[in-house]
Amino acid sequence: MERSRFLRTIALGILLLCAASGLQAQSVKYIDALKYYQQGDAAEALKLFREELQENPENDAACYYIATICASDRKRDLEAENWFKKAITLAPDNFWYKYSLALFYLRSERQELAVPMLEELAENYPKKSDLYFDLINVYLSDNDIDKALATLDKIDAIKGKNEVVGLTRTELLLKRPNANPDSVYTALATYFESCKSPRIASVLGDFYATTYRDSLALRYYDEALELEPDYTPAWYGKAGVYQVLRQYDNFFSSLSHVMRDPYVQPEVKAAQVEQMMANPQFVRTFPDDFDQIMIDLHAAHPTDSTINGLLGGYYYRTARPHLAIEVMRQNMEQHPESTDAALQYLILLYYQQAWQPLADDASSVVARFPTNPDALQMRAIANSQLKKFKSALDDYETLLRLHPKDTTIVKVTNSAMGDIYYQFGETKKAFKCYEKALKIDPDYNPVLNNYAYYLSLQGKNLKKAKEMSRKTITTEPDNPTYLDTYAWILHLLGEDIEAKAIFKHAMLYGGKESKAILEHYATVLEKLGEKDLANIYFNQAAAMKED
């Protein structure tokens, strides 16, 4: 027996105030003790109850309260037991005293003492069904299924049939060795005929669905819905059956009922939707149905951050970034305390290359979370794209100041600052930043590539540039940008045949989409005397916009 259950039941003893003798009820000390007990001041209550017993030794209620206070401390179990017994001696017909002692025995794992008391109480107070369920729990802990079932029969006889008894009996029968599930659920179906309950019907539907008897499953789900049209477990069960049967119109219609239920945990619904979205082809096949599912889900939980994130991701993956951005913007506003909600919104703006909104909204996020590195970095990137290099550098300097020991931040920030300084024409500062980044991670490809390329543009330290660039294509052999840098350095070193082979490889992996790569390749071909082919690539490059 859990302590919380024990103490909750013990608390019912508060009602004993009304049943106490006239003398006890009129005792000022007793009333004061009871007041402190109700307020949670156990020490003061215990002191006053003890004083009350010195003046009124026959006050059984005071003994009872002392017992409950002692029972809250496992080290005082013996003392608690003695006080319970004294209360019962003084008032042998008091139900709560005996019931509390029985629960106390259960909590202290003395079933052999608790069971006889509970059985006697059940016999004397047959209408108190909690007693029977306590006994059932004890019998189950002793693995005595037959006694537990017999106790359920008594509840049936006293209280009449109800879904709790029917479902509990089903669970007990299934626990029997060599239990036959078909027979057990057939018995439940018979019970259902005289105890109509949407829950029992849905449980029957679940069983028949798991045993691939779809027609029976749907029959019981429909019976549940006749009894309670909005009974969500039945709608969920029907959706599962229709999905197996590939009746997708009925599947989505049933699932919408589940999604519209605001009482189903949004995390459960989100997991279901994410499972379906894991199959992109399924989403593409039923776009309108999926839209309705997402609309129903969002309508049931309009401010839930998990659902908003799911909806925003859905809109983005289905090529509606404007809707995704609006949903995530609302989510950020609904949860101003959440860094995750803010960053999800900023990331969407970043993906859409909406640089001015990103710069503006990142500023508001930075104002709320001034030390958050992601928000600062987002604003720095946006300002860099907007050619506001001074503002970008200010944010990067702030990042380095706030997070000097975070090697990832230091590396990435120095890489970005190096790029900006190079655009300013401050080559020494740029290369100094690159060196700081490479000191942390000598194999950091973005810096290795840019550093090598800028050296090649200067025509300096080409051997160093070649070695850095070679590292990038070793780890990312199909990256057209890295291949271009390495091939161009080979060209500058006079190794045009080798450069041509690298450029040909780059053409296979996106190089044809880059004006710069096409021009470099054409230059190498021209140097090798392949002027006709070079002119083709020069012309292709001329027709393209700048990278």
Q: pLDDT (tens digit, 9 = 90+) per residue, 47-70?
A: 999 999 999 999 999 999 999 999
129-151 pLDDT tens trace: 778 778 877 777 777 788 888 87
The arithmetic mean of pLDDT across residues 157-169, rounded, is: 83
Which of 56, 84, 109 represents a domain boundary (last residue)? 109
Q: How confident is the model at residue 456 (pLDDT cuts 50, 70, 90)?
A: very high
Rounded CA-CA distance 324/346 in Å is 11
Distance of alpha carbon 12 from alpha carbon 18, whole angstroms: 12
22 vs 423, more confident: 423
The answer to whether residue 434 sits within a structural domain is no
- Mean pLDDT, the chain, whole residue set: 90
Residue with tokens 């042998």: 92
Which ranges in 13-76 belong to alpha helices (H)? 16-19, 22-26, 28-39, 42-55, 60-71
Q: Cα–Cα distance between 182 and 124 in angstroms, integer?
A: 38
Note the pLDDT of residue 547. 64
Is residue 14's pLDDT more than 60? no
- Look up the CATH number of the domain holding residue 489: 1.25.40.10
Widest CA span of the chain, in angstroms?
119
22 versus 459: the higher-pLDDT residue is: 459
Least confident of 105-109, 342-346, 479-483, 491-495: 105-109
Measured between its terminal Cα atoms, the distance across the chain in Å is 72
From 94, 109, 124, the end of a domain falls on 109
Say yes or no to pLDDT of 3 above 90.
no
Identify which of 496, 488, 460, 457 has the alpha carbon closest to the alpha carbon of residue 472.
488
Residue 440 is predicted with a pLDDT of: 96
Residue 521 falls inside a structural domain: yes
Per-residue pLDDT at 8:
40
Reported as a pLDDT band with limits 50, 70 and 90, residue 11 is very low
Q: Is the pLDDT of residue 110 over 80?
A: yes
Residue partners of 242: CB distance under 8 A and separation at least 6? 248, 250, 251, 254
Q: Which of 12-16, 18-22, 103-107, 375-379 has the highest mean pLDDT?
A: 375-379
3-state secondary structure of 503: helix
- What whole-number distance in Å separates Cα of residue 366 and Cα of residue 339? 10
Confidence of residue 231 (pLDDT cuts 50, 70, 90): very high
Span 198-216, mean pLDDT? 96
Q: At residue 12, does pLDDT exceed 60?
A: no
Q: Is the pLDDT of residue 466 over 60?
A: yes
Q: In this predicted structure, what is the pLDDT of residue 344?
A: 95
pLDDT digits (tens, 9 = 90+) for 170-197: 988 998 888 999 999 999 999 999 999 9
Eight-class DSSP state of 546: P
Is 491 within a domain?
yes
Instruction: Provide the pLDDT for residue 70.
Output: 93
Mean predicted confidence (pLDDT) in 434-454:
97
Predicted pLDDT of residue 116? 86
Q: Are 472 and 486 in contact (CB under 8 A)?
A: yes
Domain final residue pick, 109, 132, 147: 109
Amino acid (one-letter) located at 194:
S
What lies within 8 Å, CB to CB, of 94 at 6+ separation is 16, 19, 60, 87, 88
> What is the per-residue pLDDT across 244-302, written as a single tens digit (0 to 9) for each?
999 999 999 999 999 999 999 999 999 999 999 999 999 999 999 999 999 999 999 99
* 79 within domain boundaries: yes
Is residue 535 pLDDT above 90, yes or no?
yes
Q: Is residue 544 part of a domain?
A: yes
The verdict on residue 252 lying in a domain is no
pLDDT at residue 17 greater than cutoff 70: no
Q: In this predicted structure, which of 118-132, 192-206, 371-385 has the lowest mean pLDDT?
A: 118-132
Q: What is the pLDDT of residue 151?
A: 78
| The total number of structural domains that make up the chain | 2
* Closest listed residue to residue 394, CA positions, set 406, 377, 410: 377
pLDDT over threshold 50, residue 21: no
Between CA 273 and CA 277, with CA 276 as vertex, the angle to 5 degrees is 85
Q: What pLDDT shows up at residue 319?
A: 94
Helices (H), 403-544: 407-424, 427-440, 445-458, 462-475, 480-492, 496-508, 515-527, 531-542
Instruction: Count CA atoms within 13 Å of residue 538 on its CB side.
Output: 11
Nearest-angstrom CA–CA distance, 41 and 35:
9
pLDDT for 7 equals 41
In a domain, 475, yes or no: yes
In a domain, 205, yes or no: no
Q: What is the mean pLDDT of residues 11-31?
A: 53
Q: Which domain holds residue 488?
A: 468-547
